[in-house]
Amino acid sequence: MNKALLFTIVLVVSVFIVGCSSATPTHVPTQPPQVITVVVTATPPPATATSAAPSISPLPTVGLTETVQAATPTQAAIAAGTPKPSATKKPAAPAATVTPSPLPLTSPAPVLIRPNFNPDTGQKDERHSPSDALVFEWQSISPLTANVCYMIRVDFVPTNGQPSLGDAFLQCDPNETQKAQSRAVQFTMFKPGSSGLNYSGLLPNPPTDLWVKWYVTVVADQGPGSGPTDIATGVRHKVVPLSPKSDTFQFLLKNTGS
């Protein structure tokens, strides 16, 4: 019960008492007691003060002037939660092979002399293994300049179908490279068992008759490398051709077994 209700009840009772005490006593018939019904109306408590929510003015609409670039498939996939595909490792590139730089061909092809087996010309050179040395001859193109040599390629081809064997050699001996034009230049492979360069390593096993094929090229000697063998030192060199290849000659190397 709040204070307002209590005050109303006290006031009504007080008025009633005062009225009764101030009236002239007279004899009146006894009246039945009156019942006073007091209706108490509960007054709701005042509303709790709350601060009014501030009104929010809508922001003015601003037109977009920039163009949004469409997402690439990869960006769209990432935005959608799709996992980015894993990168595929590329195989390592093979190591570059170092080759001699090409030079212009400045010399004519050498002209071969002998040995050669050519029935059309009546030249039917024949050598015997292992008793003969093999002497190759061609015409000098002129005295060669410094670091320029002749390269001779020699291949042994068995007549019975066995695998062929061959190698290339450098003739850089000044006694041969400085000969005048058209003079005979020589290159010698000694017989098996001889000191120096011999052809025992190119013979087939078992021994048999074979064709020896050969040609000559003028080359620039670029020092030790993985090319032909310098017959003077036994060291392989890298070379660059300075002339076309000569014709290829061949001759018969018969196996005599002695």
In the predicted model, is pLDDT for residue 124 greater than 80?
yes
DSSP β-bridge partners for residue 140: none
In the predicted model, is pLDDT for residue 118 greater than 90?
yes
In the predicted model, is pLDDT for residue 62 greater than 70?
no
Strand order in the sheet with 184-189: 111-114, 134-139, 184-189
Mean pLDDT across 57-79: 45
Q: Residues 237, 257: contact at Cβ < 8 Å?
A: no
In the predicted model, is pLDDT for residue 109 greater than 60?
yes
* pLDDT of res. 236: 97
**Over the chain, what is the mean pLDDT?**
77
* Higher per-residue pLDDT: 8 or 257: 257
Mean pLDDT across 68-79: 44
* Residue 151 token pair: 């390269």
* pLDDT of res. 20: 43
Would you tell me how many other CB atoms lie within 10 Å of the CB of residue 86? 6
* pLDDT of res. 48: 46
User: How confident is residue 187, by pLDDT bands cut at 50, 70 and 90?
Assistant: very high
User: How confident is residue 257, by pLDDT bands cut at 50, 70 and 90?
Assistant: confident
Distances (CA, A) of 16 to 1, 4, 28: 22, 19, 18
CA angle, corner 123, sides to 213 and 134, nearest 5? 45
To the question of pTM greater than 0.75 for the whole model, the response is no
Mean pLDDT across 146-161: 97
| Paired sense of beta strands 210-230 and 249-255, if any | antiparallel
Any idea which residue has 């408590």 for tokens?
A: 45
